[in-house]
Amino acid sequence: MNEQNFINNLKQGKQSAFSQLLDDYQQKVFSTCISFIPNKEDAEDVAQEVFLEVFKSINKFKGDSKLSTWIYRIATNKCLEFIRKKNTKKRFAFMQSIMGNEMPLDKTSYFTEFNHPGILLENKEKSATIFKAINTLPDSQKVVFTLAKIDGKSYQEIVEITGKSLSSVESIMFRAKKALKEKLAIVYKNESY
């Protein structure tokens, strides 16, 4: 079945098409989510949200890009949305603790509860530090760096997913690498004392 027929079947709400979509993309979407959100349970939850959004929005898909590109764009946006909500909750809890309200403050940063399934135990602490540093990057840098270096996407795929030009993606990647080097240099310099 060609992609257009497959998309038409999805738009018609055919159960077999949705089953095929899950078979084809479930692991790929989860891999993208775990690249942004290094906690297996949270990444699974966000991946489910991605498919709910795909099912809900399939009739809005115009075919300007490949279906896979559209799905990765949704996955990337859902991951960023999750990270922003998590960071907002932490800031809110911190502000409440300063104001003296009796609300327990979770003193552990979200990205220190590192649970990426592909990381060996001895590398977890180092990886958690790296993911924490990635999480401090501006969204555009976080997306490009994560898709390229963690999810293994080519620059051309990133261009399609983000809608940015190739030169823009290359520039963003350069700035992301530079910023990460600076952030990690500070972390490791402080640890050596």
Question: At 166, which CATH number?
Answer: 1.10.1740.10
**pLDDT at 102 (0 to 100):** 43
What is the distance between the alpha carbons of residues 193 and 189, in angstroms, rounded to a whole number? Answer: 7
What is the three-state SS of the chain? CCHHHHHHHHHCCCHHHHHHHHHHHHHHHHHHHHHHCCEHHHHHHHHHHHHHHHHHHHHHCCCCCCHHHHHHHHHHHHHHHHHHHHHHHHHHHHHHHHHCCCCCCCCCCHHHCCECCCCCHHHHHHHHHHHHHHHCCCHHHHHHHHHHHHCCCCHHHHHHHHCCCHHHHHHHHHHHHHHHHHHHHHHHHHHCC
Q: Which two tokens stand for residue 144?
A: 């490009």
Question: Is residue 124 very low, low, confident or very high in pLDDT (cuts 50, 70, 90)?
Answer: low
Question: Is residue 110 very low, low, confident or very high in pLDDT (cuts 50, 70, 90)?
Answer: very low
The rounded percent of the chain whose pLDDT value lies above 70 is 77
Domain tally, the chain:
1
Burial of 39 (0-12, 13-18, 19+ CB in 10 A): buried
Q: Is the pLDDT of residue 33 over 50?
A: yes
Question: Is residue 89 very low, low, confident or very high in pLDDT (cuts 50, 70, 90)?
Answer: low
Of 28-32, 47-51, 150-154, 169-173, the range with the lowest mean pLDDT is 150-154
- Do 107 and 97 contact (CB within 8 A), yes or no? no
Of 34-48, 90-104, 124-138, 175-189, the range with the lowest mean pLDDT is 90-104
- Do 160 and 65 contact (CB within 8 A), yes or no? yes
Of 65-69, 76-80, 92-96, 153-157, the range with the lowest mean pLDDT is 92-96
What is the distance between the alpha carbons of residues 128 and 134, in angstroms, rounded to a whole number? Answer: 10
What is the distance between the alpha carbons of residues 134 and 151, in angstroms, rounded to a whole number? Answer: 13
Q: What is the mean pLDDT of the chain?
A: 81
**pLDDT at 52 (0 to 100):** 93
What is the distance between the alpha carbons of residues 104 and 63, in angstroms, rounded to a whole number? Answer: 48
Could you tell me the residue range of the domain that residue 92 belongs to?
Answer: 3-191
CA geometry: angle 35, 116, 72, nearest 5 deg? 20
Question: Is residue 191 very low, low, confident or very high in pLDDT (cuts 50, 70, 90)?
Answer: low
